[in-house]
Amino acid sequence: MNLMKRVSTLTLAAVVSVGFTFGATSANAASATGKVVVAGSTALLPLTSQGAKEFKKSNPKVSVSVSGSSSIAGPQSVSKGSATIGACDWDATKAVPGFNAFKGLTAYKVAVIPFATIVHTSNKVKNLSTSQLQGIFSGKITNWKQVGGKDAAIVVVNRKTGSGTRVNYQAKALKGKSFMTKGNYKEVGKSGEMTTAVGSNPNAIGYVDLAYVKGSIKALSYNGVAATTTNVKSKKYPVYGVGYFLTKGPAKGANAAFISYIQSSKFQNGSLKKLKFLPYRGF
């Protein structure tokens, strides 16, 4: 009897407190401009999370949540309604090889993402040509010796399908040549996993956007051109993609504010450059 009383009091307390919490939240939401949920590309993730941090400072009442899984998840989550902004490394309103166009979405350019071929820092190889990369990633060149390295078999690390980095790298660096699918080959889900996989294996080769190149991985030159933002800007280094934010129809309210903050020259010439991305204007 006593127990029942206690349980019922506890339940009542729980219900009341939950009610208050939700009531408070909805009251907040009514006075604020709303919420922004970004999902998609991990290549754009360093940029989006930095942007969200700065945006929240000037708009404390807007809730911004940022997550990254893969580019294709961006437009898909927006279509499904689980995110308000989808980050994607290609313009998902148009079809690209392997992926259909998404209808009803509006695309906003936000940044230029340079991609780099990466190897372990202990690797002697400094430069690879288009045909050498095509050979390595299709599984025809299997030993580092064949491209001027030490005598060791090459381990190819690839991103899984759905990755925008993979789409861009395949189109720009490999000129559309297809990837190998078996042998000394492994696939990883995200940009972060790529750096861990290559950084922990001296014989591995992979690719990632420039923002992630640090620690025990280094970027290789492509056809003799170093992977730097300067070389991307002067159009000497061709391996880059354009990052897009996609919204269902034209962006409104908090989402429009967030996108215009990311597109503002303050952010484009400030934090974005520091993260080794490039302003989208001019590309």
Residues that bind another protein (CB under 8 A): 1, 4, 69-70, 72-73, 76, 80, 98, 153, 155, 160-162, 181-189, 193, 196-197, 200-201, 203
| Closer by beta carbon to another protein, 21 or else 82 | 82
Shortest reach from residue 8's CB to another protein, in Å: 10
Of 243, 210, 275, nearest to 85 (Cα)?
A: 243
| Rounded distance between C-alpha atoms, residue 133 and residue 115, angstroms | 14
| Closer by beta carbon to another protein, 16 or else 153 | 153
**Per-residue burial over 235-256, b = 16 or more CB atoms within 10 Å of its CB, e = otherwise:** eebebbbbbbbbbbeebeebbe
| Closer by beta carbon to another protein, 181 or else 260 | 181
Shortest reach from residue 117's CB to another protein, in Å: 18
Strand positions, DSSP E, 121-229: 127-128, 155-159, 185-188, 204-209, 217-219, 221-222
Of 269, 274, 253, 279, nearest to 59 (Cα)?
A: 253
Shortest reach from residue 154's CB to another protein, in Å: 8
| Closer by beta carbon to another protein, 76 or else 84 | 76
Listed in sequence order, the residues at least 6 apart from 73 whose beta carbon sits closer than 8 Å to its beta carbon are 39, 40, 86, 162
Q: What is the DSSP string of 240-256?
A: EEEEEEEEEBS--HHHH
**In Å, how far are 57, 106, 146 from 138, measured between CA atoms?**
46, 35, 14
Shortest reach from residue 102's CB to another protein, in Å: 10
| Closer by beta carbon to another protein, 88 or else 173 | 88
| Closer by beta carbon to another protein, 75 or else 114 | 75
Shortest reach from residue 110's CB to another protein, in Å: 21
List residues bridging with 153 in a β-sheet: 143
Shortest reach from residue 241's CB to another protein, in Å: 17
| Closer by beta carbon to another protein, 38 or else 72 | 72
Shortest reach from residue 93's CB to another protein, in Å: 16
| Rounded distance between C-alpha atoms, residue 116 and residue 127, angstroms | 11
User: Are the CB atoms for 134 and 262 separated by under 8 Å?
Assistant: no
